[in-house]
Amino acid sequence: MRIVLMGAPGSGKGTQAQRLIERFGIPQISTGDLLREAAARGTPYGLRARAAMDSGALVADEIVLGIIRERLGQADAARGFILDGFPRNLPQAEALASMLDTIGKPLDVVVLFEVDYAEIVRRISGRRTCPRCGRVFNVHTHPPGTPPHCDQCDDRPKLVQRRDDEEVTVKRRLQVYEEQTRPLAEHYAAQGLLRVIQADAPVDVVTARLIEVLEPLERAQ
């Protein structure tokens, strides 16, 4: 299965991708994770990516495409993959299609997660991250205590809010999504690849809706 999970930041794509890993045995490829890893390593591409992410802007296509191309070439992606957060605009979508056509492995499905934007702002701005282990908490759904500390690490480091999770940045990211990424729904619908699920629901309910969409495609493989 070659799957794209599409939706606004904070719509739950990453959580659902983790569940699909277990079901299909294929890797999740998150551009956000790949870019943050590159930024943490201080690579030239990573530093450029960090500047864009901190301001809520999209990272330049040349950076994202280079990182994705390398990741899709790894052995664990040969049987399929779950793309989370990519493509984010039409040029990226066309570049991805070209890459996959070259190896004879086109996309099977694009799933759009629909979530109210006000709920997204609440979700993302409530995130807190452990600087040690990377575990993510949410002050609305998983109160970490006062003062907030990671309950998974022995030294209980204080949780932090990433700059790209701040409310002002989240609203800017949603504006960018609406202008540049949301139009991809029509692009993929025209190709017969788009499926839409309502993601304003508990995690297990969203998973059930996602599996209902993917099971017929899995049987057809």
Mean pLDDT of the chain: 88
Distance, first Cα to last Cα, the chain: 8
Catalytic-residue membership of 156: no
Catalytic-residue membership of 88: yes
> Hey, what domains does the chain have and what are their CATH numbers?
2-115+181-220 (3.40.50.300)
Q: Which of 13, 50, 123, 209 is catalytic?
A: 13
The per-residue pLDDT for 141 is: 73
Q: Report the alpha-carbon distance of residue 41 to residue 177 in Å, rounded.
A: 27
Residues 169, 177: contact at Cβ < 8 Å?
Answer: no
Tens-digit pLDDT profile for residues 126-185 = 888 888 888 888 888 776 555 588 888 888 898 999 888 899 999 999 999 999 999 999
Q: Quick one: tokens of 7?
A: 């939706």
Q: Which of 50, 128, 173, 209 is catalytic?
A: 173
Tens-digit pLDDT profile for residues 75-116 = 999 999 999 889 989 999 999 999 899 888 899 999 999 999
Rg (CA), the chain: 17
Q: Which of 162, 171, 172, 182 is catalytic?
A: 162
Catalytic-residue membership of 162: yes
Amino acid at 201: A
Task: Give this prediction's pTM.
Answer: 0.80
Q: Which of 2, 50, 71, 88 is catalytic?
A: 88
Continuous segment of H or E residues that includes residue 116? none
Quote the distance between the C-alpha of residue 64 and its chain's center.
Answer: 13
Tens-digit pLDDT profile for residues 2-46 = 999 999 988 999 889 999 998 899 999 988 788 888 888 887 778
Edge-to-edge order in the sheet of strand 194-198: 28-30, 81-84, 2-7, 109-114, 194-198
Catalytic-residue membership of 163: no
Q: Quick one: tokens of 201?
A: 């629901």
Catalytic-residue membership of 105: no
